Each structure stands twice: as C-alpha cells, then as structure tokens.
Amino acid sequence: MKIEGIYQATARGFGFLTPDGAVGRASDLFVPPRSEGGAWTGDRVSAETRPDPRDPQRQVAKVTAVLERNTRTLIGAVERRGREIWLQPSSDRYPNAVKVVGRSAGKLRPGDKIAVAVSSYGSAKLPPMGTLKASFGRDGTRQASVAAILYNYDIEGDFPAPVQAAAALAPEEVDPAACAGRLDLRDKTVITIDGASSKDFDDAVSLERDGEGNWVLGVHIADVSHYVPAGSVLDLEAFHRGTSVYFADRVVPMLPEALSNGICSLNPHVDRLALSCILTLDPSGAVLDHR
C-alpha cells in the first residue's frame, strides 16, 4: 500500500514515518535501515508498506520518493579531508557529512562551527553538498553554541535600522503631561515580580487592606502601548519577534533596549506609566470588585 507522511530519522540508522492525518504515535510506521530512500529527517515522503518479516502483524515502510524537503540549512563542525572541506552535522539524525563547496570553503578552519545552505541532498554517486551561510566560532565553545542555536531558530539579535531609529526617539523620562487622568500609585508599595537579574521589569503587584478588612490587590504591567503605537515599525517588529528570548547568558529582547530596559521597564525609584487592575477580595480570596 502506498502512503504519504513525514519521515523522522534516528541516530541509530532507522526511522519512523508518520502518515498524513495520523493522530498519536501509535500510527507511526517503522522504517528499517537503508529504507529511507534518500530522505532526511522532517521530509515529506511517499512510501510503500509491507508486513514486517519479523512480525507479520506489523507494517513497516520503505520510502519511495521525497515529496518536500524540510531541511534548508545545516549546522555543524568543519572537517578537512585532503583538500576538501566537509561539515559534520551537530545532530546525528542527519547524514554523516556534507561537502562544503564554493569560494568561501577554503577560508574555513577545521573545528569551526558553521551553517551551510544545502544545495544538493546527494545521490547514490554524489554526497550532499552545501555553501557557507554563517560562521559562529570554534565548535564546543559556549559562544559558538549559543550563536548557532539562535541562528538555527531564526532569533535575530540586531534590530533593523528603522526600528532602532524609532526607538531612539523614545523619552528617557515620563512626560508629566502623560500622567494627566491617570491613577497615581506612587505612594503605594509596588513590587516587581521579575528576578533581580532580569534585564527588564514588565510586571508588578501591590497588596494592602482596606477599611473593611478586605484585601486590595493591584496587578500592574508596563504600558508599552503608550510608546509603541499600533501599526508602527516598533509594533510590527515586536509582532514579528513575538516575545523576548532568554537564553543562557543573554536576552534577545522583543523591543530595543531603549524601550525594554528603559521607559517601558518598571524600574525602581523612577516614574513609569502602567496599566493596572485593582481587585478587592474578601478574606477568603473571593473577588468582590475590580477596576
């Protein structure tokens, strides 16, 4: 029987095929060694199924064609074999080695961690090939490992020039005119909930008793929208990034630091604009009112 689905390789030479429309891993089919038909992990393939010789009650699959490639870029370490430069992929679910071609290949040093754009997936007579896209430093170092992972997931460290220019216009202090019509909470004890080592402070809480013995809970978040107009280059860039990324020894912010670490961060002992929800709770925690 012919089926289509996604091929997933393993480090042990065999793989699995998840048929289109399958729900749960119970539908996965075993793909024996040397039955992947040139497919790489994540590729969409067509395959033929047959009874497993060791267990006729179970079906196994053999890939007959690759319908759609999933891998466009590979990351790994540089190896020199004679005069040729090869990439040893970081993940052992990929082919053993990819030949690095192009003018830039000769400049690479063995042990460098790099990314290549796959130009050929290989055949029975030719190896997979790729051209240099990025170099991260020496393989095995923390700096190179972090840079490669961020690159692999398309997490951009630098902001485009128009975004940086828009962020540079942000004020360093709150304009007193912006406070008009706002609830003033500067006489309250408001505590940020981010850790002391955080680079930006987005959220905070306050808690006190009212005259009737109820709790008044304030939940506060930095009013980023005051400085990031809807549809602006800042807004569109933040939407593209989706979130700030905290990784190892660094943070890749959703907004430039002039905003994320400055006027849009609830830093102590400075005025900041916030959006707040003030809840009144009875002694058991039930919400009586909110504004």
Q: In the CATH scheme, what is the homologous superfamily, with its name and number, of domain 2-68?
A: Nucleic acid-binding proteins (2.40.50.140)
Contact 15, 6 (CB under 8 A): no
**How far, in Å, CA of 210 to CA of 248, rounded?**
43
Same fold flag, 2-68 and 73-152:
yes
The yes-or-no verdict on residue 277 having pLDDT over 90 is yes
> Would you call 13 helix, strand, or coil by DSSP?
coil
Number of H helices, E strands in the chain: 4, 17
pLDDT in tens, 23-46: 877 889 999 999 999 999 999 999
Quick check: 107 and 159 in contact, CB under 8 A? no
pLDDT at 207 over 90: yes
Task: For 70-86, write each residue's pLDDT tens digit.
Answer: 999 999 999 999 989 99
Q: Name the pTM for this structure.
A: 0.70
Q: Which CATH number fits domain 73-152: 2.40.50.700, 3.40.640.10, 1.10.357.10, 2.60.40.10?
A: 2.40.50.700
Crossing angle for the helix pair 161-168 and 233-241, to the nearest 10 degrees: 120
Only one residue has tokens 């991260």, namely 136
CA distance 250 to 119: 33
248: left (phi over 0), alpha (psi -120 to 50) or beta: left
Q: Could you write out the three-class secondary structure of 73-132? A: EEEEEEEEECCEEEEEECCCCCCCCEEEECHHHHHCCCCEEEEEEEEECCCCCCCCEEEE
Kindly state the DSSP code that residue 275 receives in the 8-state scheme: E
Q: Say what percent of the chain tops pLDDT 90.
A: 77
Residues of the chain above pLDDT 70, percent: 100
So where are the chain's domains? 2-68, 73-152, 161-290
Contact 63, 37 (CB under 8 A): yes
Q: How large is the average pLDDT for residues 175-192?
A: 95
In terms of phi and psi (left: phi > 0; alpha: psi -120 to 50; beta: otherwise), the region of 209 is beta
Q: What is the pLDDT of residues 255-265, one digit of tens each?
A: 999 999 999 99
